Amino acid sequence: MAKDAKGNDVSAVGIPVTGRLGFAPIGTAGPSPVEGASPSFTLDPAFQIPGLLTEDGGMEWTLEADGDPITFWQEGYSIPSGLAKAEVVQTFAQTDEIVRSIVRGQTADVNGYMEIDAGGTDVQYSLFSEEIFKNGVIRRRWAPDVNIQGVKEVKSKRGDVMGYETTVKINRSDLVGGKHFGEWLIFPGGVVVTITGATPSGAAATETVTISGSGFTGTTGVKFGASNATSFQVVSDTSLTAVMPAGSAGSAQITVTTPNGTATLAYNRGA
């Protein structure tokens, strides 16, 4: 992907061409950060796939702050309420037992019969979604705690698809740091590993250098010049720390190695 002279990149526009949703019993483990970043990732079979969505019924995510901000006596000071409206709406196109069991929160008996309460269900799920864009980019999301907020059956019209517009409420979960869901953006050819900076400059032996960038999850090695860092720790996908090894002052290019590739940054170390 490359920007033009105006800073625009048409190839980076997300145009969905296919995707899938999966629902599993709450407590079902989702992919780890490393597993979810793999283009060949295989979803746990505990996740039921409700199949086709209607042409105009793809995933519509709403992620917005809810509630008035908390304001203070001093003018100009406020903080968010911390409340949020997080949900995803999609329209299932298939009328089968998988779709029905997910939206109704129960399984039909041997006669295909179930008793439905329009007030909804309190069954909670683990939700996985995947969208594949025309440019080959994959966007995945895992929400460990969701529940069906509402189901609207699309008007039955002769010759048209009978759809089920389903609103799924996304709850916060400790499995994703007390937030609503985890997200991966996977570029063709794998995760992009980059180094954008390192501080402090001129670090000497035994000093800790903080390296910023992207794609650091699963890092297997960090070097300063030809020498391995004395130790390193991945703080997040965009940050890691490394201890400068012994050596002479001067050029010591930083190299970060991950299962998805390597990235380098020019760096000058102190004595």
Q: Quote the pLDDT of residue 191.
A: 67
In sequence order, the 6+-apart residues with CB closer than 8 A to the CB of 95 are 162, 164
- The fold of the 14-186 domain, in CATH, is Pnp Oxidase; Chain A (2.30.110)
Find out whether 184 and 165 touch, Cβ atoms under 8 Å. no
The DSSP letter of residue 167 is E
Q: Quote the pLDDT of residue 246.
A: 94
Q: Quote the pLDDT of residue 190.
A: 64
Whole-prediction pTM value?
0.70
Distances (CA, A) of 33 to 36, 157, 171, 234: 5, 44, 20, 12
Classify 194-269 by CATH class: mainly beta
Q: Identify any residues that bridge with 116 across adjacent strands, giving them in sequence order.
A: none
Distances (CA, A) of 65 to 70, 80, 176: 12, 8, 18
pLDDT averaged per 10 residues in sequence order, the chain, 271 residues: 77 91 96 82 93 94 90 92 93 96 96 93 96 92 97 94 96 96 85 88 96 90 96 93 95 91 92 78
202-221 burial, b if ≥16 CB within 10 A, otherwise e? ebebeebbebbbbbbbbbee
Same fold, 14-186 and 194-269: no
Find out whether 141 and 179 touch, Cβ atoms under 8 Å. no
Q: Quote the pLDDT of residue 7.
A: 82
Q: Alpha-carbon distance 127 to 58, whole Å?
A: 15
Q: Quote the pLDDT of residue 73.
A: 94
Q: Domain residues of the chain, as ranges?
A: 14-186, 194-269
Find out whether 11 and 1 touch, Cβ atoms under 8 Å. yes
In sequence order, the 6+-apart residues with CB closer than 8 A to the CB of 101 are 48, 107, 108
